Structure 1
Amino acid sequence: MFINLNQNKNLKLFKIISEVAARNNQSVYIVGGYVRDLMMKRKASTDIDFVTEQSGIELAQHVGQEIDPKMKVSVFKTYGTAMIRYKDLELEFVGARKESYTEDSRKPEVEGGTIEDDQKRRDFTVNAMAISLNKENFGELIDPFNGVDDLEKRILRTPLEPAQTYSDDPLRMMRAVRFASTLQFQIEEKSLKAISREAERIKIVSRERIMVEFNKIMLSEKPSIGLRLMEETGLMKLIIPELIDLKGVEEVEGQTHKDNFYHTLEVVDNISENTDNLWLRWSALLHDIGKAPTKKFMEGTGWTFHGHEFLGSKMVRTLFQRLKLPLGPDMKYVQKMVKLSSRPIALVTDDASDSALRRLLFDAGEDLEDLFTLCKADITTKNSRKQEKFKKNFEYVAVKIKEVEEKDQVRNFQPPISGEEIMAMFNLKPGREIGILKEKVKEAILEGEIGNDSEEAKRFVIAEAEKLGLALV
């Protein structure tokens, strides 16, 4: 079977690589995801992998020289690979190889091999196809494991025995789940069972590598596909056990609560329809994380989860640290979203005070719209009447908040009086009195006792300073 590359936008590049390889007595093939996406007629990847049965580094250097004598070729001698950035493409060159693994590492012993050897070591049949760029069979598809059939059936199958494939490199289990989620393919039954059996092997993989795959699952069109597979195979329990703790329904005195794990998956899918913001999707994933440790049955009240948002926001840091996720602004954003996730719901009443609305505005700041996106995604009732009612309630709160925002301007709150001004008014040096007075001004504005206005704030500070025994100069 030959693939017609004549209409391919990278044809000129492929011809150059073919010519260079022939001049240097090297074979060359396109392999991996680029071939798969080409066969699926998906948007072409900007990463293209090339395999030669000789030296990948030498081929890359010759290709770089041909394209532009000044072109930088990044060489990774340890792995026998080299990379060229060309226009908007990342071209990676590697020598075909055989691999063998030890039990306690996913770093293989490597030796040179043929294109067939290289295809055998690939993770899935749909990623093991190659297109020849050799002059004698330019464009020929080399598909020893029937990857084309699996593409048509939308199946993920390993080229070799699945248990061996996953045991050798356990990250392939996460890749299987990721491809199932991003491509919406089925993991073949033998392969799925092998992942369940080998799940514990994921422990030898670095958290950073696991999270690269996990975040791709989170950014897929319907993340619940991957999240469910992780739960079914036991991977989730090993990676984010806090989510598995949300599973199950308990009944006491005829009263039950919902299964918060499956509810969470629905919320993640809901929010994914409205945002590609990875950390907002993470906020949806973790918004109920505090419910398992705060769950309590109270006579006359039923099931309660008091303070789950506050506890959940504290759990976010521990979880991010363990998973080697970023601990800067992204983590703080997720903490904020989890902590505030129930606040708008409490304001859906006619008697919700302006001060409560001002406080939400102040606490959410520029992330208020994201918070509302999360709250709307949290509506998972199948009752269309209830769904409509909840959405109208949120719109009602949004209107009320807009009115307060226009009036009081507290969304990105800047104190109307600065610490320097207070020091000058009372001839003070920096100290705790300044902090006390600034905090009192903030509270007074949020409570509606004074407006967000410089003159009002000064009068208020003078009155409060007298109580602290401070005299105006």
Structure 2
Amino acid sequence: MKFYLCKMNLEKALNHKIFPIISDSAKELNQETYVVGGFVRDFLLERINKKDIDFVTVGSGIELAQNAHSKISDSSKLSVFKRFGTAMFKWDGIDLEFVGARKESYSEDSRKPFVEDGTLDDDQKRRDFTINALAISLNQNNYGELIDPFNGIEDLENKIIRTPLHPDVTYSDDPLRMMRAIRFAAQLNFEIEENSFQSIQKNADRIEIVSTERVMDEFQKIMMTPKPSIGLKLLDDAGLMKFILPELTALKGIEEVEGQTHKDNFYHTLEVVDNIAPNTENVWLRWAALLHDIGKAPTKRYDNKVGWTFHSHEFVGSKMAFKLFKRLKLPLNQPLKYVQKIVKLSSRPISLIDENVTDAALRRLLFEAGEDFEDLITLCKADITTKNEKKQARFKKNFVLVEEKIKEVEERDKVRNFQPPVSGEEIMEVFGLEPCKEIGIIKNGIKEAILEGEVENNHESASKYMLELGKKLYLTPKLKEK
């Protein structure tokens, strides 16, 4: 794509009906007004952005928003944030945000700035990157003109992430910008300018003054990029990953004892996340890929007979996920349970590749994985990172065979997410029991018998088995009244 430097006419970018309205409001209030930031950047990159547009005005952003909002009869509610001097409303499905031009100064221990009214130049200087400091005039004397004081156009052409001011100032003032630099590099496939990246490395520890929620918001966006390893590796190279996910950086390195080595599980993990990315937009399945081996660091042992071992690393990893999610303020409800389940079962399908595997083993895996079985297999396939093409083909073929076997068992036995055909209430009624441990023993016994294939998965077979279990527990069925 060919860009043209300053004073480029961008009227094509302003073909939405909102822009003339904002321009008219700016004229009425005698306030310089510009559209800035991501909308301008994405237009130049030919990326579709129909979600949000930011406006900056030399004056009151709130008054500009109120004036524009009054001109639109079918607009949503106007939201005003006096403390921040901003206002916003939604129109035609687009979030429109208005702010007065400002300049900022920061204290060393906070990313919350001291804000003063400023000029457009002041406002562009406070932006994180040159490609986000681009502005298009909505003023009638130069409507559609590009304002680009930091050669952001040139950085777009060269695919460079660069800060408007000295990077030490930009990143130290607001350390979240370090995460944003890496996120944009990953999303846009840009490179972070060398001095800028060195500054991130120098200021990495300042990420600790940023709220966990804001860090995770950027991290999640990195996880959802087409190739997450780009951002994840940059986080590590910059020295940020150790502050965010030390459980992951603990996997780095290769040890050798008596000539025996193990693979670098950190870089293996990045490969797995990249492998799974084209096959799922489920961020939590990508998280399961990211965490599937975190239990290997605490379980790593060297055995003189078998070499390196990581016994029960899946179980340990699933337990570690709870503290990790809690620390990172990620959802502790269904997403955590889902990730824990996938991590815990991540090695199970491999053991079922043997041709002599029993139907009982297949039933158990299907029962435990439930509706997430397909996701589990997706992870297992992504976990194949061998560079030996013959091995890779063999492993993938074996997983297809496992899927076929599971499908046969599922069609025949219907055990996915099944509940024992006999309920606890029925057991209580048959044996005349109040709530007690024997009910749980019988229900679990029926479930185990069905999974082992000893009892068919239907009410009649389960009822007969219930009576057998009751007899072993010295329980006598109550006679039904005639």
For the aligned pair, the TM-score class normalised by the smaller chain equals over 0.9
- State the match for 1:163 in structure 2: 168
- State the match for 2:3 in structure 1: none
Residue 143 of structure 2 aligns with an amino acid whose one-letter code is F
1:299-332 CA deviation, whole Å, 9 max, x = no partner? Answer: 1201100000000000000000000111010011
Residue 132 of structure 2 aligns with an amino acid whose one-letter code is N
Measured after TM superposition, the shift of residue 453 of structure 1 is 1.1
- State the match for 2:138 in structure 1: 133
Measured after TM superposition, the shift of residue 214 of structure 1 is 0.1
- State the match for 2:332 in structure 1: 327
Measured after TM superposition, the shift of residue 45 of structure 1 is 4.0
- State the match for 2:404 in structure 1: 399
Structure 2 counterpart SS, 1:111: strand
- State the match for 2:372 in structure 1: 367
Matched residues, percent identical?
Answer: 64
Measured after TM superposition, the shift of residue 419 of structure 1 is 1.1
- State the match for 1:447 in structure 2: 452
In structure 2, the CA distance between the partners of 1:386 and 1:53, relative to structure 1 (3 Å rule), is same
1:378-429 CA deviation, whole Å, 9 max, x = no partner? Answer: 0011111111100000000000101111111011212111111111111112
In structure 2, the CA distance between the partners of 1:158 and 1:6, relative to structure 1 (3 Å rule), is closer
Is 2:213 the counterpart of 1:201? no
Measured after TM superposition, the shift of residue 78 of structure 1 is 1.2
Aligned partners of 2:11, 2:430: CA distance in 1, in Å? 77
- In the alignment, structure 1 segments of 5+ residues that lack a partner are none
Is 2:305 the counterpart of 1:310? no
Structure 1 counterpart SS, 2:365: helix
Task: Map 1:71-110 to 2 at 5 A.
Answer: 71-110=76-115
- State the match for 1:422 in structure 2: 427
| Native 8 Å contact 2:256 2:262 kept in 1 | yes
Aligned partners of 2:77, 2:360: CA distance in 1, in Å? 60
| Native 8 Å contact 1:37 1:45 kept in 2 | no
Aligned partners of 1:431, 1:33: CA distance in 2, in Å? 62
Residue 206 of structure 1 aligns with an amino acid whose one-letter code is S
- State the match for 1:26 in structure 2: 31
- State the match for 2:353 in structure 1: 348
Aligned to 2:67, which of 62, 70, 94? 62
- State the match for 2:9 in structure 1: 3
Structure 1 counterpart SS, 2:136: strand
Aligned partners of 1:4, 1:229: CA distance in 2, in Å? 34
Length, aligned pairs only: 472
Measured after TM superposition, the shift of residue 2 of structure 1 is 2.8
Structure 1 counterpart SS, 2:71: helix
- State the match for 2:177 in structure 1: 172
Which TM-score applies when normalising by structure 1?
0.98
Aligned partners of 1:349, 1:240: CA distance in 2, in Å? 36
- State the match for 1:212 in structure 2: 217
Measured after TM superposition, the shift of residue 227 of structure 1 is 0.4
- State the match for 2:129 in structure 1: 124
Aligned partners of 1:413, 1:16: CA distance in 2, in Å? 59
| Native 8 Å contact 2:75 2:91 kept in 1 | no
Which TM-score applies when normalising by structure 2?
0.97
Measured after TM superposition, the shift of residue 71 of structure 1 is 4.2
Aligned partners of 1:46, 1:166: CA distance in 2, in Å? 27
Measured after TM superposition, the shift of residue 226 of structure 1 is 0.5
TM superposition outliers: structure 1 runs of 4+ over 3 Å: 6-9
Aligned partners of 1:98, 1:300: CA distance in 2, in Å? 66
Aligned partners of 2:414, 2:296: CA distance in 1, in Å? 34
Is 2:388 the counterpart of 1:383? yes
1:418-460 CA deviation, whole Å, 9 max, x = no partner? Answer: 1111111111122222111111110111111101011110010
Is 2:18 the counterpart of 1:13? yes
- State the match for 1:46 in structure 2: 51
Measured after TM superposition, the shift of residue 6 of structure 1 is 3.9
- In the alignment, structure 2 segments of 5+ residues that lack a partner are 1-6
- State the match for 1:234 in structure 2: 239
Aligned partners of 1:254, 1:316: CA distance in 2, in Å? 33
Aligned partners of 1:281, 1:203: CA distance in 2, in Å? 25
Most deviating of 96-105 and 419-428: 419-428
Structure 1 counterpart SS, 2:279: coil
- State the match for 1:223 in structure 2: 228
Structure 2 counterpart SS, 1:303: strand
Residue 368 of structure 2 aligns with an amino acid whose one-letter code is D
| Native 8 Å contact 2:75 2:90 kept in 1 | no
Measured after TM superposition, the shift of residue 223 of structure 1 is 0.6
Is 2:467 the counterpart of 1:462? yes
Structure 2 counterpart SS, 1:273: helix
